[in-house]
Amino acid sequence: MNPPRIAERVLRRLVPAGIIGETIVGDAREEYAHNVARVGRLRARLLYWTNVVNVGKAYRGTAATIQPSHPAEPSALRSWLTGWPGDLRVAVRGLLRQPGFTAISVATLALGLGGSAAVFTLLDRVVLDPLPYPESHRLVKLTNRVPGVAADAEWNMSTAQYVYFSEQTRSFDNIALYRGFGATIQTPEGPQRARGWRVTASIFPLLGARAQLGRLITRQDDSPGAAAVALLSHGFWRSRFGSDPDVVGSTLSINGNPYQVVGVLESGVTAPGAAPGISGDLWAPLQIDPQGSFGNNHVFPMVARLAAEVTPITAEAELERLTQLLPDRFPNAYSQGFFERYGFRSKVTPLKQAIVGDVSQNLWILFAGVALVLLIAAANVANLYLVRMEDRRHELSVRQALGATKWTLARHVLAESWILSSVGGLLALLVGFWALPALAALAPGTLPRIDNVSFTEWTVTFIVVASLLVGIAIALHPIVHFGHSLATADMPGTERSSTHGRERQRMRAGLIMVQVALALTLVAAAGLLVESMRELNRVDPGVEPEGVITAGIFLTPTRYANDVEVWTAYRQMLERVRAIPGVQHAGMTAELPVLARFACTVQGFEDTEVYQRVDEAGLTTCAGQEPTTPGYFEAMGIPLLEGRTFTDGDNDDPSRGAVIVSQAFAHRFWPGEDPLGKGVRPSGRTEGAPYRVIGVVGDVPARALDGETAIAIYYPIVHNTDEARNWGGWMPTNMSLVVKSSLADPLLLAGEVRRAVQSVDPTVPVAHVASMEQIIRASTARLRFTSLLLGIAAAAALVLATVGLYGVVSYLVTRRTREIGIRIAIGAPPSAVRREVVRRSLVLVAGGAVIGLLLGLGATRAMQGILYGVEATDPITFVRAALMLVLVAALASWLPARRAARVDPVEALRAE
């Protein structure tokens, strides 16, 4: 009975050659057979291996004395490893002798690898890279679900929730509240607008923030009644104060109130979720009074750090329990009816997920697109490499006949492919360095974490690993399929049209089909995005943006006692702006279409049947409550559908109680009824004189062209009741000025508009000047960004697939020159030759197109969330993509087909 083969081979390697060795091996065989009969096969095997180990120990020290006198040959593995330097030198010389093949292959791989690396860097920075906060994996964002407003509606947190959760929760180590605010700062150069954050002191440990100068905001600063203090961001300190270290301790006028500067933050400190470029210039304390009165004001973002061993699901369950107790703790802010109406409940989301949002889907789609381009590039080079190996069959077979092993030949083939992919990878670094800034410049400003995107060690690692894998993939088929046939290739008596030749033809055909299939998937995906953009361009924005500019107007609240004084200032500003040559209309409103929040503010209705209809429909009575001046609808081009728009008299005589609603507002609350004359009250009030609807205007999109329609109600600046002449404790001091002009470039009016506004109040900054056309374009920036990049990837894929097909067809035509010459000599017309070449090419393209259609129908489903007005499986788009590929492929195959039809039979036969 024979022992284990592997064990016996090891034993033979350990013992000396000759009689002694054969004796030892024979004795081991006999002992193994005896042990099998005595203790069984398994234990006999173990005993045999034990003997092998003992023999190895016994001969380890005396191996030199019992080895043959001739020098030992190195092991196969060692020989294979030590032969790399020589093969690399040979491979470099061989590639330099074919500069055309080398240049095309390297350039193709460099473009594929460089594009993939650039998008990977973007993906890594935005999606994969951890947030720049300590223990960022434990940070979460707290929000409130309100399905009573909309199925996916979410509100931020309230100050009441912050106080209660800070007292009661055990799931968090720390909770912080913050809110952005606009700040007007008076400087010797004039009023300037700055962005700031009002925060609880607890936010700085969450962010890992430290002060470069001075100190941070403390709990004492955050206490009610404490002196007003402010922190400066590092960028604001440098740009506004010239890095002056004496700024700490100075006083800064913010919105007309004095604040003492207590410190300067280190560079890079940002509030969670802050858009690029608006990380905040100022930081001031919120100063929440735990014993004060609270309202139902869900406008504050809240972040927290989970306690050890606590998951977001566990924390959410605790918040659910505490949220149900809010009416007991804050009866003036919450009621059971509020919970029932809105389905109000808390939600816990990992902070990174909350910040990145649906952007990750777009970037993964882009990365998948450039990865497909890389695969097509690799397939293209693999096809070229197969052609190169075809031409070198004789050389490699001679090398094998002279003693080269299959492993040696495999090393040689792999050396060439790795040189190609490595040089391509080095050039990819240059391509990526060029492409990455272009990507960042094209990216929309709302893309989170896009600032400071640069190549990192992960980008270099990606290129190195991708280059290594591409090199292996290129060499894999030649190694597997050439290795076992090289010994007979091109040797006397060997048939040229062998089985292996057919295998290589099938391999080339398969690579072409793969390229076509991947290219079709990319072209179809890009086509879907193009269709989405077309649908968006057909959307009526509800405004006439041509010739319209907008600007932010920010009054200092301390300079105005009530809304009457505010209206007086606005009226004077509008009069002076309208007097500017070229200005046709001018007006103001609180929120602009497309960029507006149109927050949900509860409205009160005189007609009680409205509440019943709303309840039955599962809706709410909230709407975007927008203070608006006369002239706004005319300047913006929002059409008047019924009634009239505002006049100065509606503010001069607020007892009129005039209000204007959007068409969507009227349809929701008074369906099938005439809305004119209907009574409504702001902020959910049920007492006092109601406003009367005097007009209905057209709808505008709330946040983006592809977003929801705004449910909007437009109020005058001056309130209709004498309640301290303000809107329940606040005045509309922050407004957007809209100016309609006859100029081709309305932005030329920016300077005149600024002077007109500041001639009324020199402390008012005029900021964020932009044309309405720019604002509308910005609302579709993400889709345009994705469409553009995926379109570039699709174009690259189409070009690579076409070039690959052209190269393969040209090569096959060259190989079949003798056959084509014979066919022409015996009477075949040139047109028949052309048809045959094109037909064979189109068969490959058709096969690839079928695969691509199946692949694309599955792959594009992942894009449904970013498409607008078109289905991910739109048949027209896929048919167009397939027809485009077929036409391009027909052209790519017709050129070599025409050359084939011109073959001279005499020259073709003589060449053989």
Give pLDDT tens digits for 680-708: 998 878 788 899 999 999 999 887 776 67
Q: What is the pLDDT of residue 856?
A: 83
Closest CA to 896 of 852, 837, 854, 832: 837
Half-sphere exposure of 573 (CA within 13 A, CB side): 32
Q: What is the mean pLDDT of residues 397-415?
A: 71
- CB burial of residue 785 (10 Å; 0-12, 13-18, 19+): middle
Q: Is the dihedral of CA 227, 232, 236, 240 positive or negative?
A: positive
CA 750/CA 828 separation, integer angstroms: 75
| Residue 65, pLDDT above cutoff 50 | no
Q: What is the mean pLDDT of residues 119-128?
A: 84
Residue 176 pLDDT class (50, 70, 90 cuts)? very high
Residue 629 pLDDT class (50, 70, 90 cuts)? very high
What does the DSSP 8-state code read for residue 133? S
Q: What is the mean pLDDT of residues 538-554?
A: 90
Higher pLDDT, 911 or 864: 864
Q: Which helix H or strand E contains 694, and what residues bound it?
A: strand 691-697
CA 123/CA 450 separation, integer angstroms: 10
Rg (CA), the chain: 38
CA 383/CA 421 separation, integer angstroms: 14
CA 410/CA 483 separation, integer angstroms: 7
What does the DSSP 8-state code read for residue 134? T
Most confident of 266-280, 349-363, 830-844: 349-363
Q: Token pair of 232, please? A: 């400066």
Q: What is the pLDDT of residue 431?
A: 84
Share of the chain above pLDDT 70, in %: 84
Most confident of 18-32, 439-453, 459-473, 815-829: 459-473
| Coil/strand/helix, residue 579 | coil
pLDDT tens-place string over residues 582-621: 999 999 999 888 875 677 788 989 998 998 888 888 788 8
| Coil/strand/helix, residue 838 | helix
Cβ atoms of 611 and 605 within 8 Å: the answer is yes
Cβ atoms of 661 and 715 within 8 Å: the answer is no
Cβ atoms of 558 and 731 within 8 Å: the answer is no
Lowest mean pLDDT among 21-25, 239-243, 770-774: 21-25
Q: What is the pLDDT of residue 736?
A: 94
Q: Give Cβ neighbours of residue 582 (< 8 Å, ≥ 6 apart).
A: 741, 742, 743, 749
Q: Which helix H or strand E contains 318, and what residues bound it?
A: helix 312-323
**Length, in residues, of the chain:** 912
Higher pLDDT, 530 or 544: 544
Closest CA to 142 of 286, 298, 338, 342: 298
Q: Which helix H or strand E contains 139, and what residues bound it?
A: strand 139-145
| Residue 138, pLDDT above cutoff 70 | yes
Residue 288 sits at the vertex; the CA angle it makes with 287 and 293, to the nearest 5 degrees, is: 140
Q: What is the pLDDT of residue 495?
A: 44
Place of tokens 């700085």: 204
Q: What is the mean pLDDT of residues 651-672?
A: 93
Distance, C-alpha 693 to centroid of its chain = 44
Q: What is the pLDDT of residue 503?
A: 61
- State the virtual CA torsion across 347, 350, 351, 353 in degrees, nearest 10: -100
Q: Render 148-173 in DSSP notation, one character per residue.
A: TT-TT-EE-B-HHHHHHHHHH-SSEE
Q: Is the pTM of this model over 0.85?
A: no
| Residue 487, pLDDT above cutoff 50 | no
**Which backbone phi and psi does 350 adopt, to 5 degrees?**
-50, 135
Cβ atoms of 385 and 478 within 8 Å: the answer is yes
- CB burial of residue 818 (10 Å; 0-12, 13-18, 19+): middle
**Which backbone phi and psi does 451 adopt, to 5 degrees?**
-70, 145
Closest CA to 636 of 692, 678, 603, 596: 596
| Residue 498, pLDDT above cutoff 50 | no
Residue ranges of alpha helices (H) inside 18-83 are 19-39, 41-60, 63-66, 76-82
To the nearest 10 degrees (0 to 180), the angle between helices 19-39 and 41-60 is 150
Q: Token pair of 661, please? A: 């609603």
Lowest mean pLDDT among 206-220, 500-514, 628-642: 500-514
Q: Token pair of 311, please? A: 């998951």
- CB burial of residue 30 (10 Å; 0-12, 13-18, 19+): exposed
CA 575/CA 586 separation, integer angstroms: 9
Q: Give Cβ neighbours of residue 49 (< 8 Å, ≥ 6 apart).
A: 4, 7
Strand partners, 352: none
Residue 492 pLDDT class (50, 70, 90 cuts)? very low
Share of the chain above pLDDT 90, in %: 30
Q: Token pair of 18, please? A: 């000759």
Q: Give Cβ neighbours of residue 618 (< 8 Å, ≥ 6 apart).
A: 148
| Residue 18, pLDDT above cutoff 90 | no
| Residue 497, pLDDT above cutoff 70 | no
Q: What is the pLDDT of residue 58?
A: 60
Cβ atoms of 159 and 297 within 8 Å: the answer is yes
Residue 256 pLDDT class (50, 70, 90 cuts)? confident
Q: What is the mean pLDDT of residues 769-778?
A: 89
To the nearest 10 degrees (0 to 180), the angle between helices 99-123 and 781-815 is 160
Half-sphere exposure of 202 (CA within 13 A, CB side): 17
Q: What is the pLDDT of residue 726?
A: 53
Q: Give Cβ neighbours of residue 624 (< 8 Å, ≥ 6 apart).
A: 591, 596, 597, 598, 599, 600, 601, 702, 710, 711, 712, 713
Start-to-end C-alpha separation, the chain: 60
Q: Token pair of 488, please? A: 């007979």
Q: What is the mean pLDDT of residues 215-234?
A: 93
CA 304/CA 307 separation, integer angstroms: 9
Q: Which helix H or strand E contains 476, and what residues bound it?
A: helix 457-477
Q: What is the mean pLDDT of residues 37-46?
A: 75
Closest CA to 710 of 603, 826, 607, 595: 595
Q: What is the pLDDT of residue 483?
A: 53
Q: What is the pLDDT of residue 164?
A: 93
Distance, C-alpha 490 to centroid of its chain = 53
